[in-house]
Amino acid sequence: MSEWNQEDENIKTRMLSIVDDETIDWMQRKSVPFIRLMSYYKCAMMEIETKFNVLNEEYSLEFDRNPISSIKTRLKNPRSIKEKLERRGLPLTLSSIEENLYDIAGVRVICSFPEDVYALSKALLMQDDITLIEKKDYIKTPKTNGYRSLHLIAAIPIFLAHEKRMMKVEIQLRTIAMDFWASLEHQLRYKKDSEFTPEMAEELYRCANLSAELDRRMEGLLKKTKQNNNVSEHSESMAEMVGSLNG
């Protein structure tokens, strides 16, 4: 089952529900700082999600369509965190998690059209409380297997009762077509008890190109609807609007 979901979960309840009664006391002493750190990541994830919901609201009023189809969030589970630190030979400490792992909090924004991916990313990065740490454009330069998405690592402040903390969030922006391909590729590649042959990888790569072609054609249709729409207040594209805000 995918770790990405849209449900709101209470971190403490979730963490404590997966252990038996005997260890709860031990857990309370040992893991409260860990749970607290995870809750900070959750807060950062919520802040980013809200920023995208606000942008979606604004654009849908302006252009009569939603640039965001859906948003999914996921918090990396403790086992994956431990495995990643061990794999990289890094210390298993809270400060090591904060310094070295950039994908504890993940926000995946599924957009309607490729232009929405770039307009939303630009609009987010323009905001003065967001710091861009890393950007990987797998849309302009897809991975060799055909994977496409725009990945951002951003730092965002969360305001607690007595302090302000900067937290890192991994943001993946992709179209519905890119998400369709990535979800099925993930399922196929990690299917238990079955071999993933080079021929299957080639077929998947062809499917990725087909889905990119679909995105191009759909975006072509969107451009035609804009050309056919002579109403002046709707003539500016989303990308242009973000550009003018920037300037």
Residues that bind ligand GTP in the complex, under the rule CB under 6 A: 103, 136, 143, 145, 147, 151, 172, 182, 185-186
Nearer to Mg ion by C-beta: 103 or 137? 103
Tokens of 164: 């302000």
173, interface contact from ligand GTP, Mg ion, none, CB < 5-8 Å by kind: none
Residues 165-184 that bind Mg ion (CB under 5 A): none
Residue 211 Cβ, how far from ligand GTP at the closest point, in Å? Answer: 12
Nearer to Mg ion by C-beta: 170 or 215? 170
186, interface contact from Mg ion, ligand GTP, none, CB < 5-8 Å by kind: ligand GTP
Nearer to ligand GTP by C-beta: 85 or 239? 85
Nearer to ligand GTP by C-beta: 49 or 185? 185
Nearer to ligand GTP by C-beta: 19 or 184? 184
Residues 65-104 that bind Mg ion (CB under 5 A): 103
Total chain residues near Mg ion (CB under 5 A)? 1
Distance CA 85, CA 89 (A): 6
136, interface contact from Mg ion, ligand GTP, none, CB < 5-8 Å by kind: ligand GTP
Residue 230 Cβ, how far from ligand GTP at the closest point, in Å? Answer: 41
Q: Are 155 and 166 in contact, with CB atoms under 8 Å apart?
A: yes
Distance CA 122, CA 117 (A): 9
Residue 99 Cβ, how far from Mg ion at the closest point, in Å? Answer: 16
Tell whether residue 236 is a contact of Mg ion (CB under 5 A).
Answer: no
CA-based nearest residue to 34, from 11, 10, 1:
11
Nearer to Mg ion by C-beta: 58 or 103? 103
By beta carbon distance, the residue nearest Mg ion is 103
Q: What is the CA radius of gyration of the chain?
A: 20
- Nearby residues of 66 by Cβ (< 8 Å), 6 or more positions away: 56, 59, 60, 112
23, interface contact from ligand GTP, Mg ion, none, CB < 5-8 Å by kind: none
Residue 170 Cβ, how far from ligand GTP at the closest point, in Å? Answer: 7
Scan for tokens 């391909």, then name that residue. 181
Question: Where on the chain is the footprint of Mg ion (CB under 5 A)?
Answer: 103
